[in-house]
Structure 1
Amino acid sequence: MEGAEEKKKKIPAVPETLKKKRKNFAELKIKRLRKKTLSVLHGHLRLKGDWNTKAGNTSEPKLAFVIRIRGINGVSPKVRKVLQLRRLRQIFNATFVKLNKASINMLRIVETYIHCMGVPKSE
């Protein structure tokens, strides 16, 4: 009969909130370990000199030649400011522009007022 009494004893129930906390903690622990190992790996690669900071297509142009082709009459202030920042204050002024995400967005704003030439060759 003692065996039957032991079976009747209930194991205390664990609240759902504690179960969720345990699960979340385990997931956080895994994320932290992954992040830590990645940072250690990146550090070793950087020391060796094998670490490439730029990802993606390296054949994309990095520089563009931009010429201003229209006047400023009736232009919105945002367009005027971008033209000033790119040093395109007069018609037929031209500059070399380094192409990154910010400069490409600026060129999109003023695309009706400029002409973008291709990439210069380093010869």
Structure 2
Amino acid sequence: MSAVSELDFVRMKNRVKLRKSTLSNPESKLLFVIRIHGSKDMHPRTRKTLHLLRLRQIFDGVFLKANQATLNMLLRVEPFVTYGYPNLKNVKELVYKKGTGKVDKQRVPLTDNNLIEQALGSHGVICLEDIVHEIATVGPHFKETTSFLYPFKLKKPEDGVLHKKKRPYKDGGDTGNREDKINDLISMMN
């Protein structure tokens, strides 16, 4: 293991210790997380956390429930992701434009409501609008709905939007919590 990945591990532990209390009350129950940096010189624990979040490639995005466990995981991988609170418009656009589901371990575009009813009908989710509602409201079957959806493949935004800096967003970088400003980034990458 290289010295850089060991340094990444030490920084990860320090981030979790220093900022644990600041994320205890999120503004929204719903988070949208986008991976924006690659895995060069990444500690194996950081890579494992990204895999648990289903963020295996650059510009993959997933919806997550904002609870303490999720927020702690995001602190660990903060130099590699950006996240925030999406609005209903962006949730709807992502599901309708980029949404793909798992059917027999295959990636299938969400064009037919019969596919959705077969996969999620037992949970009361039978159409695209039900998926959007379940995600936007963080309903009782949020976990089943989001695990049915593949991570969203987003486009690279225009030049100059992402600065390739692993500094926090509040300090002029790209990573970390963007709060409501994630909606602008989603619109550019959609």
Report which of the two structures shows the higher radius of gyration computed on alpha carbons. Answer: 1
Q: TM-score, normalised by structure 1?
A: 0.49
